[in-house]
Structure 1
Amino acid sequence: MFKFKNKLKFGTSTEKQHHSSDSQNDSTGANSSTYEDHNDTTESSIRESNNSRKTVSIDNLTDEVNKLSVDNSNGRPNSSQHSRKSSERSTKQEINSHHQQNNGNTNNILQPPSTDSNITSNSSQYNNSPASSQATSLGQASSVSGIEDVSNSTSNSSSPGLLTVKIYGSQNIQLPIKINNNKQILHALAINSNNENIGQQLLKNLENVAKENDAEYLPGALATKLLPSIITIPNAENLVKSLLYLTIEFDNNVLVIEPQKGTVYQSTWNQVVSFDVTNKSSNSNIESQFLNLNLFIRLPNMLIPDSEKLRNNQLFTNYQQDSANPNRSMSSNSSNTSASPVNIGDLLIGTIKLPLNPKSHTQQVRLMHHEYLNFTNYNVNGNNKDSHSKEMGEIMLTIEFKPLSKKHLSIEDFDLLKVIGKGSFGKVMQVVKKDTKQIYALKTLRKQHIVSRMEVTHTLAERTVLARINNPFIVPLKFSFQSPEKLYLVLSFINGGELFWHLQREGKFSMDRSRFYIAELLTALESLHDLNVIYRDLKPENILLDYQGHIALCDFGLCKLNMSNEDKTNTFCGTPEYLAPELLLNQGYTRSVDWWTLGTLLYEMLTGLPPFYDSDSSTMYKKILQNPLRFPPFLEGTDAQDLLIKLLQKDPSQRLDDAQEIKNHSFFKDIDWNKLLNKSYLPPFKPNVENLLDTSNFDQDFTNEKPQDSVVDDFLTESVQKQFGGWTYNGDNML
């Protein structure tokens, strides 16, 4: 989708169809006593290449694959001596199929045909708790004072609009943890406050505390009175750095704001932000139906006790257990000064989750006027049960909604910032919408190229899925529009990098980190299946990380519509390492192939390579069909192993293929699924992203290019233009 230091994907290759072969019984064997050495050779190594899976031709392999069958035995693999390098992993295979095309096939422009023959690749690109701190939805009847009655609300199909949030000030803020009483660090922060009066106030507070409290630790309620909200870093050309910051999320778009002055205990913000309201669904479990505010603080590492890092690690944005030594722990009296400090990240102080229903209004309305809302932190571990719902301070907000009458957009509604990707059909640019100042990714596609490559059906299907889907872990479509020559998709700007790149860099992920990603992806696939959509191309290259570290599934070029649970299709597509056995056998397959790819992805996250990987594609296909599933010793007897065995059954009739049953598996026993959908869990890893404008995770060959909407001189007949008649989307209607 976007190029993150590898390739860029815009769509699929020309469709081809082929016959299905006779069905055969499939099964898988799970053997943990002998584990193939291809994982041993890469278990602790970092991948050497930033390139994604490469395109290779498999014309000569097609007949051979069709002759293969599933080995029902649990025997040893045919070979375990193949040399494997992660840099050699192929990503995309196009089949110039020997299968005949169906001349009687007619294409519905909003539904991909049932068969084609391309294997595509990337080209770009836990505690139970209440899910919300507010009981009712603004825009519906509410008991919150100052909120207008909304008995005049209309249906959810009202016009999209503009949501404006004004942030005035925060007060009574306290930390959910204690801090070290390090007088030297606290004094340094005070004298480097960006406001002289605030600095003097902090020094006086420190002096009073020194007289009354000489304990080793300071409680969170006291600590905030000793910390500035903003500092000026010395010897850095007076660089101003905010210790306190607030993330505001609505409709899967995140903004980050910082205060103007004050202490952490009481700060002046005086900031105004706006969001485009384009949501498609009224499902209250979905994150985009909430206005989410998360208050964070960047604490110096020396102020955080090791005991808090261990006990409340879930409150920090970048806490990761040492994957090489998962049993290593930190004690509060650790004296190992030679070890490098843990990159603990920023501390979550508290959260506000405010349900909104702004689209119920047809006229401009003030939903909230100078109201204080309380930050709550449900993730705190402590001896006192009340600490799980402790209020951490409050902030004053005004919220307004203004419906917009404009029915469609044009390129003139956006300022072009940077080029972030290019492909055969067009390019992707980072843009800012002029009225809301929201940052988006604008994907431009030349109609002539789409038509000449017979990709109209796939392109329209991708847009249709993006317009219908509403899941917090899928890159959302905000708008789409067109000109006589081009199609435009406006998507959320996701800048944390591809999961593939992070997996390359680290080799493999910890169990907890893998579980977190798989859980979010599970809900994404479930939402697609609920719409009778099969995804078919799950892999690390098609998964992005957002600013906070959450999953964002992208690239829907291979999805297929109108696939109920029992429906079958014969399309030969996907990524070689992730192909399910029934797809290779050309027997027809169901949505179950998505759960096979989910299992393959979990295996790759945990071990560093897919379960049947081989640098030779022909050998790899044979392994997928015939070799038993093997595990490294550290997975033996774990819940992960049991889940993988059930997801990677070669016989699809024996495969675990129901989303709810997968959720109920013991591997996810500590997951509160409502909490997960509401993004109430902090991700275990936060990408190294400076801010929401940061494009450092994109290829510099693109970002150094001047952004412009190039002029093309393509002429398309009226009949061709009619094929794109359902393209335009403004968040609510299709024109």
Structure 2
Amino acid sequence: MDSARSWLQKFQPRDKTRAAGKKKEEDGNGGNQDSNEAIDEALLSSVTKQKVAAAKQYIENHYKEQMKNLQERKERRTILEKKLADADVSEEDQNNLLKFLEKKETEYMRLQRHKMGVEDFELLTMIGKGAFGEVRVCREKTSGHVYAMKKLKKSEMLRRGQVEHVKAERNLLAEVDSNCIVKLYCSFQDDEHLYLIMEYLPGGDMMTLLMRKDILTEDEARFYVGETVLAIESIHKHNYIHRDIKPDNLLLDRYGHLKLSDFGLCKPLDCSTLEENDFSVGQNVNGSTQSSTPKRSQQEQLQHWQINRRTLAYSTVGTPDYIAPEVLLKKGYGMECDWWSLGAIMYEMLVGYPPFYSDDPMLTCRKIVNWKTYLKFPEEARLSPEAKDLISKLLCNVNQRLGSKGADEIKAHPFFKGVEWNKLYQMEAAFIPEVNDELDTQNFEKFDESDSQTQSSSRSGPWRKLN
């Protein structure tokens, strides 16, 4: 009995009442001893009830989450089965796709259960590098599955005030279940770095594709602009805006389909030193009056852009070519800024260079803010009236911008006539990249891994969560 009471006392609160009761017990007061034992048992019962309630809540939440995940898994399979039934796909291909889905689901569940660390991965080829860290292709040692590992320096994120941006990106990737968005499998950290384990898309990015092809046909552009619309729509539905969408952040899977991501590791262009009057028309970067800029033909401008494109993309300063004017002016902005970026990317796809391109990033900023003066369509590009109209309705004032009332406004534009939006990701892509195996990185820029001073990606595009 004494040993049992001693064990039970471990669960009892140590307060003055119990201390006094214990003293009386030691004095040999039998009646009080019985009373104190009753109090002890009551206190024990209360503490035990609290622990049982906490355990019950934990178990209920755990199984509720398990049931939710199971239901979502069933729904994803049902959706795929329905899409396959509606599509002209052979029974063998249907079975292969369903097996592939099951494999990915199992892989995802295993990663969720296991507490991962960098030691669980074999680090392979670097495909992105910048001030915040790097992105590498990696292989999970146990399963052999291939991923992209984003490794971010905590010290740099703190110094540059990017912690909230990275958290928002991680939360978005974990929250949004969309085939338009790169998938996040897990995240973990050590004393110096934060790691994001994401799906690896070996098709490269839109920047590389545009550098290889120069200009897309309107049919090709329609396909990729359409998939970008769906990607932007999917993040907007979760109350996120990207703020800096550009070709660098539009990744291609091995089949050529597009997914929105952010492999950016450097800071965005810093326009904080510019005052509002610095954006006035006719001033060059030194503040002196600039009467006119040398006029180039479309071909000359394209060649000039090709020479400078890679340097600008990987500079530590960054390129503002796709940033909306309201973002540059820092007067507050909403989801509409992403539709401006879409317009700038579409222009580059069809013309060969961004609409406000200049040798100097600050001059580009001024052109963007004064877009009414600088937005021109070269005759040599021979854009259709529908393409011109869509671009013009994206590169305009916020209150007039197409998409301000939702993505359906853009989907209904005549440029997209005939597009079956719900089947876009089931179609054959406009461009199928060359991918030899799951570790192939030929569609990405090569990086000098021995160079500790990064000269690479300024791809920032921080995900930003709206309040």
Q: TM-score range by the shorter chain?
A: 0.5 to 0.7
Letter in 2 for 1:604: E
Q: Retained in 1: the 8 A contact 2:350–2:383? A: no
Please, which of 423, 432, 438 is the counterpart of residue 145 of structure 2?
438
Q: Retained in 2: the 8 A contact 1:420–1:702? A: no
Q: Retained in 1: the 8 A contact 2:128–2:263? A: no
Please, which of 81, 88, 103 is the counterpart of residue 354 of structure 1?
81
Superposed displacement of residue 508, structure 1: 1.0
Could you tell me how far apart the structure 2 residues matched to 1:390 and 1:591 are?
37
Q: Retained in 2: the 8 A contact 1:377–1:391? A: no
Superposed displacement of residue 552, structure 1: 2.1
Q: Tell me what 1:522 maps to.
A: 229
Superposed displacement of residue 584, structure 1: 3.7
1:669 aligns with 2:417: yes
Q: Tell me what 2:312 maps to.
A: none
Superposed displacement of residue 443, structure 1: 1.7
Q: Retained in 2: the 8 A contact 1:480–1:488? A: yes
Q: Secondary structure at the match of 1:429?
A: strand
Please, which of 678, 694, 697 is the counterpart of residue 440 of structure 2?
694
Superposed displacement of residue 518, structure 1: 0.8
Q: Retained in 1: the 8 A contact 2:250–2:260? A: yes
Q: Retained in 2: the 8 A contact 1:537–1:574? A: no
Q: Tell me what 1:680 maps to.
A: 426
Q: Retained in 2: the 8 A contact 1:542–1:554? A: yes
Please, which of 416, 427, 430 is the counterpart of residue 123 of structure 2?
416
1:455-482: CA deviations, max 9, x gaps? 3222222211221122212221111012
Superposed displacement of residue 631, structure 1: 2.1
Q: Tell me what 2:340 maps to.
A: 596
Superposed displacement of residue 684, structure 1: 1.3
Could you tell me how far apart the structure 2 residues matched to 1:598 and 1:283 are?
34
Could you tell me how far apart the structure 2 residues matched to 1:533 and 1:540 are?
19
Q: Secondary structure at the match of 1:630?
A: coil
In the superposition, relative to structure 1, how do residues 454 and 513 fare at CA in structure 2: closer, same or farther (>3 Å)? same
Q: Greater CA radius of gyration, 1 or 2?
A: 2
1:580 aligns with 2:324: yes
1:566-619: CA deviations, max 9, x gaps? xxxxxx998422232333444322211111111111011000111222324454
Q: Tell me what 2:400 maps to.
A: 654
Q: Tell me what 1:546 maps to.
A: 253
Q: Retained in 1: the 8 A contact 2:203–2:435? A: yes
Q: Tell me what 2:217 maps to.
A: 510
Q: Secondary structure at the match of 2:186?
A: strand
Superposed displacement of residue 540, structure 1: 1.1
Please, which of 350, 355, 369 is the counterpart of residue 606 of structure 1?
350
In the superposition, relative to structure 1, how do residues 504 and 435 fare at CA in structure 2: closer, same or farther (>3 Å)? same
Could you tell me how far apart the structure 2 residues matched to 1:442 and 1:394 are?
30
Superposed displacement of residue 641, structure 1: 1.5
In the superposition, relative to structure 1, how do residues 425 and 291 fare at CA in structure 2: closer, same or farther (>3 Å)? farther
Could you tell me how far apart the structure 1 residues matched to 2:135 and 2:164 are?
21
1:421-465: CA deviations, max 9, x gaps? 333333322212234322101122232333333332222222112
Superposed displacement of residue 390, structure 1: 7.6
Q: Secondary structure at the match of 2:113?
A: coil
Could you tell me how far apart the structure 2 residues matched to 1:652 and 1:577 are?
17
Could you tell me how far apart the structure 2 residues matched to 1:638 and 1:497 are?
31
Superposed displacement of residue 557, structure 1: 6.5
Superposed displacement of residue 632, structure 1: 3.3
Deviates more, 1:416-425 or 1:657-666: 416-425
* Structure 1, unaligned runs of 5 or more: 1-153, 162-278, 293-352, 357-374, 379-388, 559-571, 706-735
Could you tell me how far apart the structure 1 residues matched to 2:124 and 2:400 are?
50
Alignment of 1:206-285 (within 5 A): none
1:645 aligns with 2:387: no
Q: Secondary structure at the match of 1:489?
A: strand
Q: Retained in 1: the 8 A contact 2:319–2:361? A: no
Superposed displacement of residue 665, structure 1: 1.2
Letter in 1 for 2:331: Q
Q: Retained in 2: the 8 A contact 1:427–1:443? A: yes
Could you tell me how far apart the structure 2 residues matched to 1:394 and 1:517 are?
25
Letter in 1 for 2:388: Q
Tell me the TM-score normalised to structure 1 length.
Answer: 0.40
Could you tell me how far apart the structure 2 residues matched to 1:282 and 1:516 are?
29
Alignment of 1:390-405 (within 5 A): 391=90, 404=110
Q: Tell me what 1:406 maps to.
A: 113
Q: Retained in 2: the 8 A contact 1:377–1:392? A: no
Could you tell me how far apart the structure 2 residues matched to 1:536 and 1:637 are?
28
Alignment of 1:79-94 (within 5 A): none
In the superposition, relative to structure 1, how do residues 453 and 390 fare at CA in structure 2: closer, same or farther (>3 Å)? closer
More helix by share: 2
Letter in 1 for 2:376: R
CA RMSD of aligned residues (A): 3.6
Q: Secondary structure at the match of 1:419?
A: strand
Q: Retained in 1: the 8 A contact 2:205–2:247? A: yes
Superposed displacement of residue 536, structure 1: 0.7
Could you tell me how far apart the structure 2 residues matched to 1:701 and 1:549 are?
23
Letter in 1 for 2:335: R
Could you tell me how far apart the structure 1 residues matched to 2:78 and 2:136 are?
27
Q: Tell me what 1:457 maps to.
A: 164
Could you tell me how far apart the structure 2 residues matched to 1:607 and 1:614 are?
15
Identity rate, percent: 39
Q: Secondary structure at the match of 1:467?
A: helix
Letter in 2 for 1:354: E
Letter in 1 for 2:81: L
Q: Retained in 1: the 8 A contact 2:129–2:447? A: no
* Structure 2, unaligned runs of 5 or more: 1-62, 266-278, 280-316, 452-467
More strand by share: 1
In the superposition, relative to structure 1, how do residues 703 and 485 fare at CA in structure 2: closer, same or farther (>3 Å)? closer
Q: Secondary structure at the match of 2:172?
A: helix
Q: Tell me what 1:369 maps to.
A: none
Q: Tell me what 1:470 maps to.
A: 177
Letter in 1 for 2:246: K
Could you tell me how far apart the structure 1 residues matched to 2:360 and 2:136 are?
36
Could you tell me how far apart the structure 2 residues matched to 1:409 and 1:503 are?
37
Q: Secondary structure at the match of 2:81?
A: strand
Could you tell me how far apart the structure 1 residues matched to 2:382 and 2:342 are?
17
Could you tell me how far apart the structure 2 residues matched to 1:575 and 1:703 are?
24
Could you tell me how far apart the structure 2 residues matched to 1:425 and 1:583 are?
22
In the superposition, relative to structure 1, how do residues 618 and 422 fare at CA in structure 2: closer, same or farther (>3 Å)? closer
Q: Retained in 2: the 8 A contact 1:418–1:703? A: no
Deviates more, 1:443-452 or 1:510-519: 443-452
1:425 aligns with 2:123: no
Q: Retained in 2: the 8 A contact 1:543–1:551? A: yes
Q: Secondary structure at the match of 1:531?
A: coil
Q: Retained in 2: the 8 A contact 1:459–1:557? A: no
Alignment of 1:163-174 (within 5 A): none
Could you tell me how far apart the structure 1 residues matched to 2:184 and 2:382 are?
38
In the superposition, relative to structure 1, how do residues 616 and 441 fare at CA in structure 2: closer, same or farther (>3 Å)? closer
Q: Secondary structure at the match of 2:161?
A: coil
